[in-house]
């Protein structure tokens, strides 16, 4: 399916002016975050840029995708597309049933990975994070009003496994509906719990006295990919699915820590599906908030929830292999003031025998990050360390409410607080630069920073942080190290609204590239940093000149950032996957028209979240 997405007119191009940039860190020094809130630039000049092979484009408020000239963005698949032969066609008025939705592409696609089969065939695993009820249900209301509504919603959540085939000899791909790999994994798919917390009393329910068998995954935000070819999907806002009508039900401190609001659940599954009634089945809540491993190449495989990686609002799982062969996974917990984690496996990756890797995500050590200020007071840089979350150490003891290793993992947030981790500005995606091993993390925003209980700190230095920042850390080339140094790749801001001061941002933020709320993040093979935003799109006031949500590309060395693509109205751009030749880039348009203002992608009465396929008209490498 192809839409009428056009490249941006050349007259809207911005030729980015070369200017003196400064970013934190050793390559280019940033000097002076003064008490008065003024950012001062050093006078170092950018080296010539040969990593970013295109000119940045202007911001856009159009209800369309705009992209750098010479590139094509087309829709690969949209919410409701039938995934298997014989499945019902998408109904643009919301009349598809729950049973129909179980065989259709899910809603609100987010993180995703591409798994090649051969040069002409591949399988994509694509998260379906949540639903826009007003478009999902024929009645157009914001709440499910029947069990059928709830089942349809559950069927639109989870993960879609989508087979694709190359179109001719081009870098374009299309859905391969006849493939045996096409599969839906939903909020009701049978899964296994594994690792140290599996079988723990806190994970046992009436339906599963073993504590090993769980139904479904939902709130699947972003993702990761293992070296042995499996997909990791990350459970984020799982709390919004639980509630109760029992008026006197009191939430526990542990439930509150995961922001459970029982009497005003955002999605009222609990009204019609008893499993989500927290008063009746309190432990069901503990069975979500994990990282789930899926084998996309085995359509009958059972997904596995790996408890060793901790329970929190997982954004993504940035996987790397350390020099000694151990697996390392960096993870963010997306909530104001929550933490950044790292997991190190006990065993080593064995790519020659995938079966030998099965225990790597079950046996290992979880750590949480502490970011310290620079000893000389230089802003936007410092040292840090990873603190191990070990039962019996650092106060993770029965006196403080931790009775075994499982409780440390199930209540990872509480454990991280206990050991003194640094409260961050909503950690979203993490990506590891393949050239130097430095990890980058988007801290999307934090309106509560600077308020009581959320003081400023070196890594989160801005009160009422409405723009966010991208922080990076360097472990000296050893991903298993417990110490690191860090600096700020970008403190986002808006030089149009704020020509000076902390809301201007670091000098690599310009009038030409200004954006807010960095979220999705990924490196390509050449080391270009792809940045996707999920922020405010009013284009007014603090956000003037920033337009719709967008994708930008950064040079890790010079710090330069250029705008590559802009999404349609009231969407977020998220998810990033390349084919092995880096000539096709897949990016998601999520929740277009959540404000009722979009007809993306096909002028349907209901806008549809969609996977975009980006190629170059000359067939070249994306971004080069
Ligand atoms: Fe699903 Fe934190 O974004
Ligand atoms: Ca996100
Ligand atoms: Ca976000």
CA distance 549 to 532: 8
Checking if the pLDDT of 430 tops 60, the result is yes
Checking if the pLDDT of 468 tops 60, the result is yes
Pairing of strands 427-432, 439-443: antiparallel
Checking if the pLDDT of 15 tops 90, the result is no
* Neighbouring residues of 158: CB distance < 8 A, sequence distance ≥ 6: 106, 127, 128, 184, 185, 186, 187, 189, 216, 217, 218, 220
CA of 572 to the centre of ligand 2 (A): 9
- pTM for this structure? 0.93
Measured in whole angstroms, the distance separating CA 485 from the mean position of its chain's CA atoms is 24
Is residue 428 in contact with ligand 1, taking CB distance under 6 Å?
yes
Give the confidence band of 48 by pLDDT, cuts at 50, 70, 90. low
Is residue 129 in contact with ligand 1, taking CB distance under 6 Å?
yes
CA of 316 to the centre of ligand 2 (A): 8
Checking if the pLDDT of 14 tops 60, the result is no
Closest by alpha carbon to 305, among 362, 353, 368? Answer: 362
Pairing of strands 483-491, 585-590: unpaired
Q: Give the ligand whose atoms come closest to the C-alpha of residue 237.
A: 1
Q: Counting atoms of ligand 1 from 1, which one is nearest the CA of 237? A: 1
CA distance 437 to 428: 19
Is residue 235 in contact with ligand 1, taking CB distance under 6 Å?
no
Checking if the pLDDT of 170 tops 60, the result is yes
Bridge partners of 123, per DSSP, are 115, 163
Checking if the pLDDT of 226 tops 80, the result is yes
CA distance 429 to 236: 12
Is residue 334 in contact with ligand 1, taking CB distance under 6 Å?
yes
Checking if the pLDDT of 546 tops 70, the result is yes
Phi, psi angles (nearest 5°) of residue 580? -60, -25
Phi, psi angles (nearest 5°) of residue 515? -155, 165
CA distance 160 to 458: 40
Structure tokens at 183: 């599969």
Q: Is the dihedral of CA 20, 24, 25, 29 positive or negative?
A: positive
Query: What is the pLDDT at residue 603?
Result: 92
Q: Could you tell me the domains of the chain?
A: 16-236+289-616 (2.120.10.30)
Q: Counting atoms of ligand 1 from 1, which one is nearest the CA of 315? A: 2
Q: Counting atoms of ligand 1 from 1, which one is nearest the CA of 334? A: 2
The tens digit of pLDDT for each residue in 49-84 reads 689 999 999 999 999 999 999 999 999 999 999 999
Average pLDDT, integer, range 382-392: 98
Query: What is the pLDDT at residue 354?
Result: 81
Residues near ion ligand 3 (CB < 5 Å) are 444, 519, 534
Neighbours of 350 (CB within 10 A): 14
Query: What is the pLDDT at residue 40?
Result: 34
The tens digit of pLDDT for each residue in 238-256 reads 999 999 999 999 999 999 9
CA of 500 to the centre of ligand 3 (A): 26
CA distance 555 to 551: 14
CA distance 366 to 522: 23
CA distance 489 to 546: 19
Q: Counting atoms of ligand 1 from 1, which one is nearest the CA of 332? A: 2
* Neighbouring residues of 429: CB distance < 8 A, sequence distance ≥ 6: 222, 315, 316, 318, 332, 441, 442, 519, 520, 521, 522
Residue minimizing CA distance to atom 1 of ligand 1: 221
Query: What is the pLDDT at residue 49?
Result: 67
The tens digit of pLDDT for each residue in 103-147 reads 999 999 999 999 999 999 999 999 999 999 999 999 999 999 999
Angle at 614 between CA 608 and CA 616, to 5 degrees: 150
CA of 313 to the centre of ligand 1 (A): 8
Query: What is the pLDDT at residue 47?
Result: 54
Average pLDDT, integer, range 281-298: 98
Average pLDDT value over all residues in the chain: 92
CA of 19 to the centre of ligand 1 (A): 33
């Amino acid at each position: 399916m192809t839409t009428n997405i056009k490249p941006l007119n050349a007259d809207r191009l911005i030729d980015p002016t070369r200017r003196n940039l400064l970013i934190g860190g050793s390559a280019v020094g940033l000097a002076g975050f003064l008490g008065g809130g003024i950012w001062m630039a050093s006078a170092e000049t950018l080296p010539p840029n040969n990593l970013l092979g295109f000119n940045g484009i202007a911001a856009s408020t159009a209800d369309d995708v705009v992209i750098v000239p010479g590139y094509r963005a087309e829709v690969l698949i949209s919410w409701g597309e039938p995934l298997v032969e014989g499945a019902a066609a998408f109904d643009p008025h919301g009349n598809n049933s729950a049973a129909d939705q179980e065989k259709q592409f899910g809603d609100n696609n987010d993180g995703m990975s591409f798994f090649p089969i051969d040069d002409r065939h591949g399988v994509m695993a694509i998260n379906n994070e949540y639903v826009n009820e007003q478009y999902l249900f024929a009645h157009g209301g914001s709440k499910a009003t029947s069990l059928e509504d709830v089942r349809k919603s559950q069927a639109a959540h989870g993960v879609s496994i989508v087979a694709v085939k190359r179109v001719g000899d081009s870098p374009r791909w299309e859905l391969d509906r006849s493939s045996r790999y096409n599969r839906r994994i939903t909020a009701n798919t049978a899964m296994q719990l594994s690792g140290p917390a599996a079988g723990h009393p806190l994970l046992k329910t009436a339906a599963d006295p073993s504590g090993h068998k769980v139904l479904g995954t939902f709130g699947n935000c972003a993702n990761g990919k293992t070296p042995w070819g499996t997909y990791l999907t990350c459970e984020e806002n799982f709390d919004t699915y639980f509630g109760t009508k029992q008026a006197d039900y009191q939430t526990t401190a542990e439930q509150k820590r995961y922001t459970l609001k029982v009497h005003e659940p955002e999605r009222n599954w609990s009204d019609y599906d008893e499993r989500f009634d927290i008063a009746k089945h309190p432990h069901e809540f503990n069975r979500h908030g994990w990282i789930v491993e899926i084998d996309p190449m085995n359509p009958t495989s059972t997904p596995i929830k790996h408890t060793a990686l901790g329970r929190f609002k997982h954004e993504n799982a940035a996987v790397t292999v350390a020099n000694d062969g151990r697996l390392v996974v960096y993870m963010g917990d997306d909530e104001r003031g929550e933490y950044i984690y790292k997991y190190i496996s006990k065993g080593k990756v064995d790519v020659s025998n995938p079966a030998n890797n099965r225990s790597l995500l079950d046996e290992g050590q979880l750590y949480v990050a502490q970011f310290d200020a620079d000893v000389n007071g230089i802003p936007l840089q410092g040292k840090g360390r990873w603190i191990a979350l070990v039962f019996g150490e650092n106060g993770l003891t029965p006196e403080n409410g931790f009775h075994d290793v499982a409780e440390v993992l199930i209540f990872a947030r509480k454990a991280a607080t206990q050991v003194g981790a640094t409260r961050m500005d909503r950690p979203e995606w993490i990506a590891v630069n393949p050239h130097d091993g430095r990890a980058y993390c988007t801290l999307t925003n934090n309106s509560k920073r600077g308020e009581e209980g959320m003081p400023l700190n070196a890594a989160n230095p801005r009160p009422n942080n409405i723009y966010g920042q991208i922080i990076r850390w360097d472990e000296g080339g050893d991903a298993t190290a417990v110490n690191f140094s860090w600096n700020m790749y970008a403190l986002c801001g808006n030089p149009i609204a704020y020509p000076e001061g902390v809301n201007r941002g670091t000098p690599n933020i310009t009038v030409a590239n200004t954006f807010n709320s960095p979220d999705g993040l990924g490196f390509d093979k050449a080391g270009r940093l792809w940045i996707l935003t999920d922020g405010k799109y009013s284009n007014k006031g603090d956000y003037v000149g920033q337009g719709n949500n967008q994708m930008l590309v950064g040079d890790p060395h010079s710090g330069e950032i250029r705008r590559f693509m802009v999404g349609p109205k009231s969407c977020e751009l998220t998810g990033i996957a390349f084919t092995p030749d880096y000539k096709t880039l897949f990016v998601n348009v999520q929740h277009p028209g959540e404000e009722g203002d979009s007809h993306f992608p096909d002028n349907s009465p209901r806008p549809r979240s969609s996977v975009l396929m980006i190629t170059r008209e000359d067939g070249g490498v994306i971004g080069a």
